Amino acid sequence: MGLVEIATGKVLSSFSVFLFLTVLLLVVARRISTSVLLFSVQSAIIAAGVFATGFQERLAEAYVVGALVLLIKVIVIPRAFFSLVERLKTSRDVKAWTTPTQSVFIAAAMIYLSYAAVHSYGQAVNVPEDSLAAAVALILTGAFLMVSRKKALMQMLGLLVLENGIFLAALTTTFGMPLVIEIGIFFDILIGLLLMGIFTFRIRETFDHLDVSKLRRLRG
Amino acid sequence: MILLLPLLIALLGAFLLLGFQNPRVATRFALCVGGLEIASLAALVWRVHVDGALQVGRYLRADGLSSFFLVNIAFISGLVLVYASGYLPLAGKGRFSSPRWFYALVFLFLFTMVSVCLSANLGLLWIMMEGTTLASALLVGFYNTEGAVEAGWKYLMVCTVGIAFALFGTIVLYLAAVKAGMNPAAALDWVALMDAVPRMGFDPHLVKLAFVFVIVGYGTKIGFVPMHSWLPDAHAEAPTPISALLSAVLLNCAMYAVMRYDAIVSHATGPAFSHTLLLIFGGMSMVVAGLLILVQRNLKRLLAYSSVEHMGIIAIGLGLGGPLGLFGAMLHTFNHSVAKSLLFFSAGNVRHNFGTLRMESITGMSRSLPQTSAALVVGGLAIVGLPPFSLFISEFAILSEAFSQARYFVAALVLIVISVVFGGFAYHFLHMLSGEPHGAPENAKLIPSEYMVMGIAVLCLTFFGARIPHLFGVFVQEAMVVLR
């Protein structure tokens, strides 16, 4: 058994644990830059998972997808975020509605919930329960970050984490969708982030802050 | 080739438009591109009518259902472009700093909506549906006021999250197809799925799970309650031509996606599950929107909630199923589009003359703006479903289906909500029309472009109310055949 095989096995057997770790760290992170870094690490773990799956299942397409994840989610998006944070000159605090302690408990509850949710489906579709649970946990965490953080940038990050979860779900259940569709989805995410970036500048210009919780003019 | 033409024209037009600095030239060029786009769509629809479904490669396909919605897109976008050509110069310099960007984004938006209707692959359908959000978000926030930026941000976030759920649903359906033994390359192909679903034994749990996520996801774009929160804000804060496009075309495109999924799920597990979900979402949307219509203060928000209510009616028609229910739902997508764009066009005119859309500060319109008032009255009577107009026919079809299936609860719900909405519209409109005029120029006439589009819409509403043109009826039938 060569080194690559061993590495592949290790990655596949342990990457959901690392993903749960990023989830727990993400909800307690107090600074935007830390959260972005954690997102980057999380995407790198997912990219490793893609490569390992591709190697194990002998899927050439998976390498392309893995390279895309590495390029876009590990390098391009975090860099864009850092430059946004710098150019917006906003405070670094994520401004959460919940305290870190509460957040950890909520995250733990969400991980438990993910296992409970995938339990019945995991056996039916014959996929590793851990990675499917990790996917659901990422989706829930993303949604939680979106509703519990007041900064516009953190809402974007929550969306990205949620999207990571959906991507992971597709990967673990079906080894990914057809390549053309994957590329289209990546393209959409990039454009979406670009637009959200434009909007954060506009919010800052028109409201002079980035606190989305204060955008409450439109009601009813 | 004829299938690619509408896509190419819209996309090229959008990029070329950015080259025109002069607002007047840009407007003229936009009208030309719009004309070409409509002509190419008409040619495509005609080809599909004559030759049957057309396919280009693995990802693009036009059948009866697509062409029915293409007719809707072509008709409404034509009206909107003509209306916009007169509206932009009036809207004032500060608000429309660059018509070329406006038109370029409109054509990108059209491109994505046409692509939604021409997607043969459910993955591509998702990509293009997300594209509609992206292309229109900047249009919603076009005015750059506080309200517009807030509405644009909310629209972008809510719809992107919503549509992420639809992606999850798409993946689950893909999983079900692959597990049932379909070739992974064809497992998202709509035709292949429709063909495989009855014979290959899809796991019913997975198919149902997929539909739940899809209806929540695309339902966000349709504006089903409780995912409708973006809709009134976006409709009220967007420039008026865009409000009309969102309400009359975009919501229908999302409904189209749900129809495609509903057909697959009905074939796989029987119609009970998906139709019940449609009835639940439709009923909730009708009731909540109907009640909220009563308390609105802003004219465009009132119209937006009315769109939610009508999407509910369409969902109920689909959920009832049966020949009349489906027929009514199809017809209603078109009729609602025409009536709602007429109302938004009138609202745009009210905004010019009164400088506000707050209904409490608008009085005496019937004397100061007789022509706009006439359009508003016709649109209002049509939208509440009164007999001489076409919405009556489609609502009547849906109601008769409910009665013939002995679903008296559904029928009663629809009837009650329609009467409540009638009361709401009558109250708001009577307040605006009657009383002493103040704050508006004496007897302001409509400008030619407004006059033209409103005239066409009124004619269409009345004519379709008297009898459905033969050819149009054939289109509806062809669309229904695809779903069966």
Put simply, whether A56 touches B (Cβ < 8 Å) is: no
What is the predicted ipTM?
0.92
Residue ranges covered by each domain of chain B: 1-120, 121-270, 288-484
Q: Is the per-residue pLDDT at B344 higher than 80? A: yes
Report the alpha-carbon distance of residue B124 to residue B274 in Å, rounded: 22
Q: Do A155 and B157 touch (CB under 8 A)?
A: yes
- Give the pLDDT confidence score for residue A219 in this predicted structure: 62
- pLDDT bracket for residue A56 (50, 70, 90): confident
From the CA atom positions of chain A, what is the Rg in Å?
Answer: 18
How far does A168 lie from chain B, in Å, by closest CA? 10
- Asked whether residue A208 is domain-assigned, the answer is yes
Q: Which residues fall within 8 angstroms of residue B184, CB to CB, at 6 or more apart?
A: A174, A178, B178
Over residues B398-435, the pLDDT tens digits come to 999 999 999 999 999 999 999 999 999 999 999 999 88
Which of A175, A188, A191, A215 to mutate to probe the B interface, most B CBs <10 Å?
A188
Q: Is the per-residue pLDDT at B341 higher than 80? A: yes
- Give the pLDDT confidence score for residue B95 in this predicted structure: 59
Structure tokens at A100: 């870190």
How far does B192 lie from chain A, in Å, by closest CA? 15
- Give the pLDDT confidence score for residue A215 in this predicted structure: 75
Put simply, whether A26 touches B (Cβ < 8 Å) is: no
Which residue is listed with tokens 């840009």?
B26
Is residue B421 within 8 A of residue B286, CB to CB? The reply is no
Q: Facing residues of B55 across strands?
A: B61
Percent of chain B with pLDDT over 90: 79
Is residue B80 within 8 A of residue B449, CB to CB? The reply is no
How would DSSP label each residue in A48-66? HHHHHHHHHHT-HHHHHHH
Q: Which residues fall within 8 angstroms of residue B161, CB to CB, at 6 or more apart?
A: A143, A146, A159, A162, B220
Q: Which burial class, exposed, middle or buried, applies to A201 when counting CB atoms under 10 A from its CB (0-12, 13-18, 19+)? A: middle
How would DSSP label each residue in B289-320? HHHHHHT--BHHHHHHHHHHHHHHHHHHHHHH
3-class DSSP assignment, residue A91: coil
- Give the pLDDT confidence score for residue A217 in this predicted structure: 66
- φ, ψ dihedrals at B365, nearest 5°: -65, -35
- Give the pLDDT confidence score for residue A129 in this predicted structure: 84
- pLDDT bracket for residue A124 (50, 70, 90): low
Over residues B165-199, the pLDDT tens digits come to 999 999 999 999 988 888 888 899 999 999 999 88
Is residue B60 within 8 A of residue B431, CB to CB? The reply is no
CA nearest to A191 within chain B: B134
- Give the pLDDT confidence score for residue B6 in this predicted structure: 95
| Chain A environment of B209 (Cβ under 8 Å) | 121
- Give the pLDDT confidence score for residue A160 in this predicted structure: 94
Q: Is the per-residue pLDDT at A218 higher than 80? A: no
Listed in order, strand segments (DSSP E) in B374-462 are none
| Chain B environment of A198 (Cβ under 8 Å) | 138
3-class DSSP assignment, residue B98: coil
Put simply, whether A170 touches B (Cβ < 8 Å) is: yes
Strand pairing report for B60-62 and B54-56 = antiparallel
| Chain A environment of B161 (Cβ under 8 Å) | 143, 146, 159, 162
- pLDDT bracket for residue B442 (50, 70, 90): low
Q: Long-range pairs for A163-167 at CB < 8 Å and ≥24 separation?
A: A163/A189, A163/B164, A164/A39, A164/A42, A164/A43, A164/A46, A164/A73, A164/A138, A165/A135, A165/A136, A165/A137, A165/A138, A165/A139, A165/A140, A165/A141, A166/A135, A166/A139, A166/B164, A166/B167, A166/B168, A166/B171, A167/A46, A167/A69
Residue A122, domain extent:
3-212
Facing residue for B144 by CB, picked from A162, A188, A202: A202
CB pairs under 8 A between A and B: 120
Sign of the Cα pseudo-torsion (B140, B143, B144, B147, in order): negative
How far does B134 lie from chain A, in Å, by closest CA? 6
Task: Choose the weakest-confidence range: A56-60, B78-82, B321-325.
Answer: A56-60
Facing residue for A217 by CB, picked from B121, B146, B205: B146
Average per-residue pLDDT in chain A?
A: 87
Report the alpha-carbon distance of residue B115 to residue B329 in Å, rounded: 22
Over residues B358-386, the pLDDT tens digits come to 998 888 888 888 899 999 999 999 999 99
In chain B, DSSP finds a helix count (H) and a strand count (E) of 20, 2
- Asked whether residue A219 is domain-assigned, the answer is no
| Chain B environment of A218 (Cβ under 8 Å) | 147, 150-151, 154, 232-233, 236-237
| Chain A environment of B124 (Cβ under 8 Å) | 181, 184
Q: Is the per-residue pLDDT at B278 higher than 60? A: yes
- Give the pLDDT confidence score for residue B440 in this predicted structure: 66
Q: Do A218 and B150 touch (CB under 8 A)?
A: yes
Report the alpha-carbon distance of residue B162 to residue B157 in Å, rounded: 8
Average per-residue pLDDT in chain B?
A: 93
Of the two residues A57 and B421, the one the predictor is more confident about is B421
Q: Do B174 and A177 touch (CB under 8 A)?
A: yes
- Give the pLDDT confidence score for residue B110 in this predicted structure: 97
Q: How many residues does chain B have?
A: 484
Angle at B306 between CA B300 and CA B308, to 5 degrees: 110
Is residue B50 within 8 A of residue B107, CB to CB? The reply is no
Report which of B152, B139, B301 is spatially closest to residue B235, judged by C-alpha positions.
Answer: B301
| Chain A environment of B131 (Cβ under 8 Å) | 188, 191
Over residues B24-66, the pLDDT tens digits come to 899 999 999 999 999 999 999 999 999 999 999 889 999 999 9
- pLDDT bracket for residue A61 (50, 70, 90): confident
- pLDDT bracket for residue A122 (50, 70, 90): low
- Give the pLDDT confidence score for residue B21 in this predicted structure: 86
Over residues A151-193, the pLDDT tens digits come to 889 999 999 999 999 999 888 887 777 888 888 888 888 999 9
- Give the pLDDT confidence score for residue B215 in this predicted structure: 96
Q: Do A178 and B233 touch (CB under 8 A)?
A: no
From the CA atom positions of chain B, what is the Rg in Å?
Answer: 21
Over residues B71-81, the pLDDT tens digits come to 999 999 999 99
Is residue B344 within 8 A of residue B300, CB to CB? The reply is yes
- Counting the structural domains of chain A, the total is 1
| Chain A environment of B292 (Cβ under 8 Å) | 220
Structure tokens at A207: 């409201």
